[in-house]
């Protein structure tokens, strides 16, 4: 859904802005996360009085298993297309560059 929201937001933001029509985002019940992202590209957001509108935040959770697999002699194997493809891998120790890269994603 995030990819679709990004595409809608880019489409609305890039359009020519003739007077009128104006692009309005209408919210009946819920407009959070990707929906809010896309709605923000509109000229205005019109919401029902009881609608929930806004960003709900982003969270990433995980576990660090690197010590346990080393202790138990488990061999880790990964095949990835890019250096940053796996993100914060729970089977490797955290590195400053990986943490910094993951923190930029929700922004």
* Catalytic choice (7, 10, 17, 85): 85
- Which token pair is 75? 């061999």
Q: Encode 67-89: b = buried (16+ Cβ within 10 Å), e = exposed.
A: eeeeeeeeeeeeeeeeeeeeeeb
Beta bridge partners of 53: 31
The answer to whether the Cα torsion of 85, 86, 88, 94 is positive or negative is negative
* Catalytic choice (23, 27, 33, 69): 33
Catalytic site residue 17?
Answer: no
* Catalytically active residues, by annotation: 33, 85
């Amino acid at each position: 859904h995030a990819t679709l929201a990004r595409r809608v937001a880019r489409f609305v933001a890039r359009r020519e802005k003739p007077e009128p029509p104006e692009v309005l985002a209408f919210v009946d019940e819920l407009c959070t996360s990707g929906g809010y992202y896309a709605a923000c590209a509109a000229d205005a957001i019109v919401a029902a009085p009881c609608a929930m509108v806004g960003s709900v935040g982003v969270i990433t959770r995980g576990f660090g298993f690197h010590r346990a697999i080393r202790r138990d002699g488990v061999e880790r194997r990964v095949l990835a297309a890019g250096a940053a493809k796996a993100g914060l891998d729970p089977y490797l120790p955290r590195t400053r560059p990986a943490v910094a890269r993951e923190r930029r994603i929700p922004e």
